[in-house]
């Protein structure tokens, strides 16, 4: 069989695979539909170039395959053609870059009404902390972390007292309310990633990183660690439950704050000392 035919079938197969693939992205469940749109745009432009280049190549293979009596053209360069191709490519690339940068600008500009969530990662698990009624998270330090202070909140920080602590790998989010994910890690790199939300960012020990999104579909989603973090990486899963505001408020009511925890421990300690005295 002529090599050109096989190459043609490869290109045709690629196009058909794309049309009929059962494997494609999950329905977007956040405001980042724009990312899907840039992917689609890149797909059409890039895919078009790929097909055009390959078809041209296949055409040449058919048309100009070796004949004893033919002589190839002798034309070292064609300045005009090269100039046209350079500018056309530059324009195409700029057309892909521009929407990308616009959405990136949105991605790094967090809306003012976003609720901040402290996502704390370690080998291998997650836990979450929400600001209390004051709307501000207390500051933290790795060295403060112990059984009585699982998030390492600075005890003398007044903002920390009412922080809501969720010592579970599942977090609930309010539908249609932007969230700013504040990521930190106590040991190695991690990455809090929900494919349906599209966005992701590494959690880096020593600093706090962030990203934001606005969930817009209620339901349960799986959290995956997307940055390799050692042997347990593949098992480092979590969950997100996106709820309507009523359900979300009910859930929030039941969660424990930092001062609740401190109070509980005081009671425990006093009863311990009482026991000891007896």
Partner 1 sequence: MSEEFNDNKTIQAQSSESISGGGSGAANDIDYVRPAEVGEQDLYHGHSFISKWVFCQDAKVIGVQYFLLATFTGIIGLILSWLMRLQLGFPELAGFMTAEHYYQFVTMHGMIMVVYFLTALFLGGFGNFLIPLMVGARDMVFPYLNMVSFWMFFIAVGVLLASFFVPGGPTGSGWTLYPPQAILEGTPGSGWGIMLMCISLILFVAGFTMGGLNYLITVLQARTRGMTLMRMPLTVWGIFTATVLAMLAFPALLVGALMMSLDNLLGTSFFMPTILKAGEVLEYGGGSPILFQHLFWFFGHPEVYIVALPAFGIVSDLISVHSRKNIFGYRMMVWAIVGIGALSFFVWAHHMYVSGMNPWFGFFFATTTLIIAVPTAMKVYNWILTLWRGNIRLNTVMLWCLGFIVTFVNGGITGIFLGNVTVDVPLSDTYFVIAHFHMVMGIAPLMVIMGAVYHWFPLVAGRMLDEGLGKWHFWITFLGAYSIYFPMHYLGFIGVPRRYFEMYDSPYMTSAVGMNEFISIAAFIVGAAQFILFYNIIKTLKVGKPSGHNPWKACSLEWLTPSVPPEHGNWGDKLPIVHRWAYDYSVPGAKEDFITQITPPSEVANTEVEKT
Which parts of 173-192 interact with partner 1 (CB under 8 A)? 183, 186-189, 191
Regarding 262 and contact with partner 1 (CB under 8 A), the answer is no
Regarding 3 and contact with partner 1 (CB under 8 A), the answer is yes
Residues 47-76 within binding reach of partner 1 (CB under 8 A): 47, 49-50, 53-54, 56-57, 60-61, 64-67, 70-76
The tally of CA atoms less than 13 A away on the side-chain side of residue 206 is: 2
Q: Which of 72, 275 has the CB closer to partner 1?
A: 72
Q: Phi and psi for 234 in degrees, rounded to 5?
A: -70, -20
For residue 155, the minimal CB distance to partner 1 (Å) is 17
Query: How are strands ordered across the β-sheet holding 164-166?
Result: 209-213, 179-185, 115-122, 125-130, 164-166, 256-257
Residues 91-150 within binding reach of partner 1 (CB under 8 A): 93-94, 96-97, 99-101, 103-105, 107-108, 122-123, 141-143, 145
The pair of structure tokens assigned to 172 is 């609930």
Distances (CA, A) of 24 to 4, 15, 18, 36, 195: 30, 14, 9, 11, 12
Regarding 44 and contact with partner 1 (CB under 8 A), the answer is no
Among 5, 12, 16, 207, binds partner 1 (CB under 8 A): 207
Q: Which of 3, 263 has the CB closer to partner 1?
A: 3
Query: How are strands ordered across the β-sheet holding 190-193?
Result: 170-174, 237-243, 219-225, 190-193, 202-203
Interstrand relation of 202-203 and 164-166 (parallel, antiparallel or unpaired): unpaired
For partner 1, which stretch binds (CB under 8 A), given 159-167, 171-179, 197-205, 255-263?
A: 197-205
């Amino acid at each position: 069989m002529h090599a050109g035919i096989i190459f043609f079938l490869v290109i045709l197969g690629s196009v058909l695979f794309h049309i009929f693939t059962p494997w494609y992205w999950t329905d977007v469940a956040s405001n980042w539909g724009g990312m899907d749109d840039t992917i689609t745009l890149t797909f059409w432009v890039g895919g078009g170039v790929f097909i055009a280049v390959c078809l041209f190549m296949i055409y040449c293979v058919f048309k100009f395959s070796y004949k004893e009596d033919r002589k190839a053209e002798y034309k070292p360069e064609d300045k005009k053609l090269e100039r046209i191709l350079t500018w056309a490519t530059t324009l195409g690339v700029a057309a892909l870059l521009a929407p990308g940068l616009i959405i990136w600008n949105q991605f790094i500009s967090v809306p003012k009404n976003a609720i901040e969530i402290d996502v704390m990662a370690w080998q291998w698990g997650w836990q979450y902390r929400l600001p209390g009624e004051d709307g501000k998270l207390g500051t933290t330090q790795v060295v403060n972390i112990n059984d009585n202070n699982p998030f390492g909140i600075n005890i003398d920080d007044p903002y920390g007292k009412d922080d809501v602590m969720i010592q579970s790998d599942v977090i609930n989010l309010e539908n249609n309310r932007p969230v700013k994910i504040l990521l930190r890690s106590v040991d190695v790199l991690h990455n809090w990633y929900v494919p349906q939300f599209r966005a992701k960012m590494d959690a880096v020990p020593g600093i706090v990183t962030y990203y934001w999104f606005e969930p817009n579909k209620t339901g349960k989603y799986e959290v995956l660690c997307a940055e390799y973090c050692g042997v347990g990486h593949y098992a480092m899963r979590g969950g997100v439950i996106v709820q309507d505001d009523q359900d979300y408020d009910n859930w929030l009511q039941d969660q424990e704050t930092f001062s609740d925890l401190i109070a509980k421990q005081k009671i425990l300690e006093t009863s311990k000392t009482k026991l000891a005295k007896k």
